[in-house]
Amino acid sequence: MKSIIKQLVETPGPSGFEHEIRDVIRDAVADSADEVRVDALGSLIARKGTKTEEGLRVMISAHIDEIGLMVTHVDENGFLRFTNIGGINPLTCYGGRVLFMDGTRGVIGMDSIERGKTPKLTDLFIDVGATDKDNCPVGVGDVCGFERPFLDLGKRMVAKSMDDRIAAAIAIEVLKRLESTPHEIHFVFSTQEEVGLRGATTAAYGVDPDLGFAIDVTRSGDTPRFSPKMATALGDGPAIKVRDSSFIADPRLVKWMIKTAEESGIPYQLEVLEAGGTDGRAIQLTRGGAPAGCVSIACRYIHSPSEMVDSDDVENAVELLVKLLSEPIILD
């Protein structure tokens, strides 16, 4: 799986600009999906299976966008001011390298600010090596993402955009390993999650699922002096979401996931995320409503250019999802 993970995390795709990453995913699911389509907001929807009498129409959402930057102004000397696409922390920007959708590269510099002060986004600029406004290769409205190579630390893996390409990798792998299913499963590789679950909102309307869940990363409370308190830890297994600040997972889904994990001897942990939202909300609130949940991967340093996850959690998540989707779903 590591080679597809590397390919996924190294492909740029800030929210709204997911065309390149979508092409990578289209190739990756081509052999295992029964049907692939793309909706108006650019989400790729891969269907597997047809609904049998004991099956449901299931939506699984993994978002393929990542946080990024958009140029707001090119100054006389060719420096670029920018705004955030999704939750960017100015602390992790300075000195970072960025890659524009047209291949232009740049670095992030900073105005002189008072020593000890935290920079604001408006204190930062991108330098693409231009010497003035006229020879600057990018302009207002152009988009870039952070550029960092995939780092394989053995059990642990580090990359920009582990949020949420690790979920895309998991969904691709589940699609491959799923031999038979009574369900009609729509694997949604959703867009614009980082700016407000937008892709999953329209995809859920289009799929009209009986039930669904998101796959996403969640915070990991196992680093030094971590606050607020969070029970999740890298390596403790896929996290079954109980709630986050965007939705409360359907308790029947939580129970079903726990039961399946325990019966199959797959390690799991429970997740309560106090700040953060996922595509699960979009699924739950679509049309007349649908039971929804989320399977999470604990992740350190979320929304920094170095997000870390555990390989065993990823493998266990794949196994859990294959089990969940191979049998009829009984909610009680």
Partner 1 sequence: MTKNSELTANKGFDIGEQQIELLEKLCNATAVSGDEHEVRQIVLAEIKSFADEIEVDALGNVLAKRFGSGENRVRVMLAAHMDEIGFMIVKKHDDNLFQFERVGGIDERQLPGKAVLVGRDHLAGVIGAKPIHMTTADERMKKIPVDALRIDLGPEIGDKVKPGDRATFATRFKLHGPSILAKALDDRFGVSMLIELLKHPPANIDLLTAFTVQEEVGLRGARVAAYKFNPDMAIAVDSTPAYDLPHWDEEDENVQYNTHLDAGPAIYVMDRATIADRRLVNLFTRAAEAEGIPYQYRQPGGGGTDAGVIHKTRAGIPSISVSVPSRYAHSAIGLARIEDWENTLRLLHAALSRVTPDLLAGERRG
Give the residue with the Cβ less far from partner 1, 183 or 198.
198
Question: Least Å distance between CB 31 and partner 1?
Answer: 20
SS3 266: coil
Give the residue with the Cβ less far from partner 1, 28 or 309.
28
Asked if 193 is an active-site residue, the reply is yes
Residue 27 CA: distances (Å) to CA of 38, 128, 187 = 13, 32, 14
**Residues whose CB falls within 8 Å of the CB of residue 166, separated by 6 or more in sequence, listed in order:** 5, 9, 157, 217, 297, 299, 309, 314
Question: Least Å distance between CB 128 and partner 1?
Answer: 16
Can you state the percent helix, strand and coil of the chain, rounding each to 5? 25, 30, 45
Q: Whats the size of the chain, residue-wise?
A: 332
Residue owning tokens 């949420």? 164
Catalytic residue among 10, 18, 193, 307: 193
Question: Least Å distance between CB 205 and partner 1?
Answer: 5
C-alpha to C-alpha distance for 137 and 182, rounded to whole angstroms: 52
Give the residue with the Cβ less far from partner 1, 195 or 242.
195
Give the residue with the Cβ less far from partner 1, 77 or 118.
77
| Strand bridging mode 124-127 / 184-190 | unpaired
Question: Least Å distance between CB 159 and partner 1?
Answer: 23
| Contact set with partner 1 (CB under 8 A) | 15-17, 19, 22, 38-42, 70-73, 75-76, 81, 83, 85, 101, 122, 139-141, 143, 192, 195, 198, 201-203, 205-206
Would you please indicate which residues are annotated as catalytic (active-site) residues? Answer: 193
